[in-house]
Amino acid sequence: MAKVYNFGAGPAMLPESVMLKIQEAWLDFKGMGVSLIEISHRTKEFEQVLLKAQEDFRKLTNLQENYKVLFIHGGARMQFSALPMNLAGRVASKKCLYVESGNFAKLANKDAKAFCDVKVIASSADTNYDRIPQVTPEMIDQDAAYLHITSNNTIYGSRYNSFPETGNVPLIADQTSEILSREIDYSKFGCIYAGMQKNLGPSGAAIVVIREDLLGHASEQTPPLLNYTLADQDNSLTNTANTFAIYVTGLVLEWLLEQGGVAAIQKQNEAKAKVLYDLIDSTDYFRGVIQPEFRGTMNVSFKLPTPELEAQFLKKAGAAGLYALKGHRSVGGIRASIYNAMPMVGVETLAGFMEEFKKNNG
């Protein structure tokens, strides 16, 4: 098969060396003669996988001891319900604050409404989410259970390049499409979570990092498997865990350490994004969909002069092995998701293709 570069937004490409390791150990995990997916979540071999993944995550993020690393069933969307179930009970009013910076940020507060009193304190919906809305300290009701943000907006590519100061209100971030892509001070957050299927592993599970003083407030009607306190007590083994997702995530975390950790991968991510943004900024032919000051490094969304040219672009890109570049239906255009696992050569190949396409269709 020809070399393919996969720019899909998720489930997304994983590091080649990780994929090869999984394939190699597929029928014989650690000399057991069986596959990792065929062993009990209660074996010492799996426990080792779980503990190592938690430990490596801590290393990569310099996580303080008072934060817990949990693995929960379902992706980020399941946490949209689980979060208010677990945390709204911190305050009698069940008031929870949300910032709406994109479709998933909106969905997060929509799903939360069944479990708490949602207040959307800022939104960029009126400019079709072309920016991160401003949040000032005065906007944050200090009696709220938490403030929820979506730190990187997958569909648009915008991200918080600085985080709101929330006083005593725990800041919670959905980091699904950017987790471990840049250095972040986790101690500024009460809780961070991410679906695995972009920067961590396969789909179907989430990582939840939570400060321990926020545990213990789950509503009685929280399903046990969505109860963070119980997950902490049982170290994510209340029932049969998603062993495959935790295993793959563990390998990705090892790979990140081999790359030099988050600081090193951040530099690579910045260099990769710069290649595309420099090209976009050098011409009117490609137009970014978000305001430049909110650009992140994971998802680069842009448009061509006409929808017809975009259709042609996508068709030719696919034929050239540049895969899954179609923008989300709510925005249209082109989106290149360039997560941690995307090598620079993939981005350069895309940039070369863009230049060529512009020359031939300018």
CB of residue 245 vs a copy of itself: minimum separation in angstroms? 6
For a copy of itself, the closer CB: 14 or 210: 14
Q: Considering the rule CB under 8 A, would residue 359 count as an interface residue with a copy of itself?
A: no
**Listed ranges 181-189, 237-245, 285-293, 306-314: which one lies at the site for a copy of itself (CB under 8 A):** 237-245
Q: Write the burial class of residue 347 (CB in 10 Å: 0-12 exposed, 13-18 middle, 19+ buried).
A: buried
Q: Residue 185: phi, psi to the nearest 5?
A: -85, 100
* Contact set for a copy of itself, span 122-181 (CB under 8 A): none
Amino acid at 277: Y
Instruction: Say if residues 147 and 140 touch (Cβ distance below 8 Å).
Output: yes
Instruction: Say if residues 299 and 276 touch (Cβ distance below 8 Å).
Output: no
Instruction: Say if residues 206 and 195 touch (Cβ distance below 8 Å).
Output: yes
CB of residue 188 vs a copy of itself: minimum separation in angstroms? 28
Among the listed residues 68, 69, 75, 272, the single contact to a copy of itself using CB under 8 A: 75
Q: Considering the rule CB under 8 A, would residue 260 count as an interface residue with a copy of itself?
A: no
Q: Where are the beta strands (DSSP E) in the chain?
A: 5-6, 67-73, 95-100, 117-123, 147-150, 152-153, 158-159, 171-174, 191-195, 205-211, 287-288, 299-303, 322-323, 334-337
* Contact set for a copy of itself, span 289-348 (CB under 8 A): 321, 323-324
Q: Which tokens is 118 given?
A: 């949602």
CB of residue 246 vs a copy of itself: minimum separation in angstroms? 9
Among the listed residues 17, 27, 278, 356, the single contact to a copy of itself using CB under 8 A: 27
CB of residue 284 vs a copy of itself: minimum separation in angstroms? 30
CB of residue 288 vs a copy of itself: minimum separation in angstroms? 23
Q: Considering the rule CB under 8 A, would residue 259 count as an interface residue with a copy of itself?
A: no
Instruction: Say if residues 201 and 14 touch (Cβ distance below 8 Å).
Output: yes
Among the listed residues 142, 162, 221, 360, the single contact to a copy of itself using CB under 8 A: 221
Q: Considering the rule CB under 8 A, would residue 229 count as an interface residue with a copy of itself?
A: no
Q: What is the Cα gyration radius of the chain?
A: 21
For a copy of itself, the closer CB: 23 or 168: 23
* Contact set for a copy of itself, span 42-71 (CB under 8 A): 43
**Listed ranges 110-118, 130-138, 297-305, 354-362: which one lies at the site for a copy of itself (CB under 8 A):** 110-118
**Listed ranges 21-29, 135-143, 155-163, 249-257: which one lies at the site for a copy of itself (CB under 8 A):** 21-29
Among the listed residues 123, 203, 312, 361, the single contact to a copy of itself using CB under 8 A: 203
Closest by CA position to 180, among listed 217, 156, 209, 203: 209
Which three-class secondary structure state does DSSP give residue 95?
Answer: strand
Total Cβ atoms within 10 A of residue 99: 24
Among the listed residues 205, 207, 231, 256, the single contact to a copy of itself using CB under 8 A: 205
Amino acid at 66: N
Q: Residue 288: phi, psi to the nearest 5?
A: -65, 150
- Among all chains, which residue has been given the structure tokens 């489930």? 11
For a copy of itself, the closer CB: 8 or 261: 8
Q: Considering the rule CB under 8 A, would residue 197 count as an interface residue with a copy of itself?
A: yes
Q: What angle do CA 309, 320, 3 make, to 5 degrees?
A: 150
CB of residue 10 vs a copy of itself: minimum separation in angstroms? 7
Instruction: Say if residues 87 and 112 touch (Cβ distance below 8 Å).
Output: no
Contact residues toward a copy of itself (CB under 8 A) are 1-4, 6, 8-14, 19-20, 22-23, 26-28, 31-35, 37-41, 43, 73-75, 77-78, 80-82, 85, 111, 114-115, 195, 197, 202-205, 220-226, 238-245, 248, 321, 323-324
